[in-house]
Structure 1
Amino acid sequence: MADAPYFANRMLSALSSVFTWATDQGLIPEGHPKPTLKIETYAEHARERYLTPEEFARLGAALRAVEPQNPAPVAVVRVLILTGARLREILHMKWAYVDLDRGIVFLPDSKTGKKPIFLPAAAVAILERQPHLVGNPYVFPGRRPGAPLYSLTNQWATIQENAGLKGVRLHDLRHSFASIGAGQSLGLPVLGRLLGHTEPATTARYAHLADHPLRLAVEAIGGEIDAAMAPQIAPAK
Structure 2
Amino acid sequence: MTDISPTKLTKRSVDAAQPTANRYVVWDSELKGFGLRVEPSGSKSYLVRYRAGQGGRAAAKRFLSIGRHGTLTPDEARRKAKEVLGAAARGEDPADDRARFRAAPTVAEIAKAFLTEHLKTKRKPSTLANYRRAFDLHILPSLGRKKGEEVTRADVARLHHEMQSRPAMANYASAVLSSMYTWAAKRHFVPEEFNPATKVGKYREKQRERFLTAEELGRLGQAIRKAETEGVTWEPRATKKAKHAPRPENRRVTINAHTAAALRLLLFTGARLREILHLRWEHFDVGRGLLLLPDSKTGKKTIVLGAAALQVLASVPPIGAFVIAGEGAGTAGEKPRSDLKRPWELVATEAGLVGVRLHDLRHSFASVGAGSGLGLPIIGKLLGHSQAATTHRYAHLDSDPLRRAADEISERIVHAMGGSGPATP
Q: Same fold (TM over 0.5)?
A: yes
1:140 to 324, 338, 352: 324
Distance 1:33 1:100 in 2: 56
Aligned length: 206
| CA-CA distance at 1:143 after TM superposition | 2.6
Q: Which has the higher helix share?
A: 1
| CA-CA distance at 1:130 after TM superposition | 1.5
Q: 1:37-77: CA deviations, max 9, x gaps?
A: 43223323111101111101110110011113312111111
Distance 1:94 1:153 in 2: 21
- Corresponding residue of 1:159: 347
Answer yes or no: is the 8 Å Cα contact 1:184–1:213 preserved in 2. no
- Corresponding residue of 2:86: none
Answer yes or no: is the 8 Å Cα contact 1:183–1:213 preserved in 2. no
Distance 1:142 1:165 in 2: 26
Gaps of 5+ in 1: 1-8, 220-228, 230-237
Answer yes or no: is the 8 Å Cα contact 1:58–1:163 preserved in 2. yes
Q: Which has the greater radius of gyration?
A: 2
| CA-CA distance at 1:14 after TM superposition | 3.8
Q: Which has the higher strand share?
A: 2
Is 1:199 aligned to residue 320 of structure 2?
no
| CA-CA distance at 1:101 after TM superposition | 2.0
Task: Name the SS for the 1:140 alignment partner.
Answer: coil
**Deviates further, 96-105 or 160-169:** 96-105
1:7-46 matched pairs, under 5 angstroms: 13-15=134-136, 19=140, 31=149, 37=156, 38-40=158-160, 41=163, 42-43=166-167, 44-46=205-207
2:209 to 20, 24, 48: 48
Is 1:131 aligned to residue 292 of structure 2?
no
Task: Name the SS for the 2:398 alignment partner.
Answer: helix
Question: Larger relative CO (CA 8 A, sep 6+): 1 or 2?
Answer: 1
Is 1:112 aligned to residue 298 of structure 2?
yes
Answer yes or no: is the 8 Å Cα contact 1:83–1:120 preserved in 2. yes
Distance 2:316 2:146 in 1: 49
TM-score, normalized by length of structure 1? 0.76
Is 1:176 aligned to residue 364 of structure 2?
yes
| CA-CA distance at 1:211 after TM superposition | 0.6
2:227 to 66, 76, 88: 66
1:222-237 matched pairs, under 5 angstroms: none
Answer yes or no: is the 8 Å Cα contact 1:80–1:87 preserved in 2. yes
Task: Name the SS for the 1:39 alignment partner.
Answer: helix
Distance 2:292 2:322 in 1: 14
| CA-CA distance at 1:193 after TM superposition | 0.3
Distance 2:225 2:340 in 1: 16
| CA-CA distance at 1:33 after TM superposition | 5.1
Task: Name the SS for the 1:158 alignment partner.
Answer: helix
Is 1:79 aligned to residue 262 of structure 2?
no
- Corresponding residue of 1:209: 397
TM-score, normalized by length of structure 2? 0.44
Distance 1:47 1:161 in 2: 20
Answer yes or no: is the 8 Å Cα contact 1:142–1:149 preserved in 2. yes
| CA-CA distance at 1:16 after TM superposition | 6.7
What's the RMSD between the two structures over aligned residues?
A: 3.3
Return the letter of the residue paired with 1:54. E
